[in-house]
Structure 1
């Protein structure tokens, strides 16, 4: 296994591809994780954290849809999720570049 902090940073930042093309925040990190988890040191831990975070965001978005009817709380939820989905990949990319294994807040553990 090789140490490749640059690829770990790219994996975290690949979640932001949705801002450019409208989709892919789950697909691109998933592909990077599945192809590199046995080759790059700590990729398995980082990849699991990213996939769990992205799946959790999807669950929270689905929860916001019915809340739109309740005084528009779902819209506030979408805004908060958008901010969280933008800020934490950047913060964790910086942590990954420093050799830390970052965690994402409010993530369910779908993959251990």
Structure 2
């Protein structure tokens, strides 16, 4: 069994359900990515990362941050490829993926479930 077998598996569920304020902050971490890119998730992660009581918020903000960083890299690649017109097709795909997956993540987080994006570089651990 390699160390990469369970890379995208969600973490074990926390004891009991996450409190409503943590679910709301996790919801915001996912949805702010639509408007602010990685900045919103970064701020929420930086505020909550040192507080052990906010484990759910920290986990979901970190997941949203990793996804937004992955999208940012995708936007840079699409911009470079736009000089040969392929990137013009990639931009709308990335925007739609951001919209759909961020809303899905926000809905799951609001229900107290840990959400993992289907494709995201795990840069922040």
Distance in 1 (alpha carbons) for counterparts of 2:75 and 2:34:
17
**What are structure 1's unaligned runs of at least 5 residues?**
18-23
Query: Offset of 1:66 from its aligned partner?
Result: 2.5
2:62 aligned residue (48, 60, 65): 48
For the aligned residues, what is the CA RMSD? Answer: 1.6
Paired position in structure 2 for 1:20: none
Structure 1 segment 10-89 matched on structure 2, within 5 A: 10-17=28-35, 24-37=36-49, 38=51, 39-70=53-84, 72-89=85-102
Give the TM-score normalised by the residue count of structure 1. 0.82
**Counterpart secondary structure, 1:28:** helix
Aligned counterpart in structure 2 of residue 6 of structure 1, from 20, 24, 30: 24
**Moved >6 Å (runs of 4+):** none
Q: TM-score, normalised by structure 2?
A: 0.75
Gaps of at least 5 residues in structure 2 are 1-17
How far apart, in 2, do the equivalents of 1:26 and 1:109 lie?
A: 14
Provide the C-alpha distance between the structure 1 equivalents of 2:62 and 2:96, rounded to a whole number of angstroms.
Answer: 21
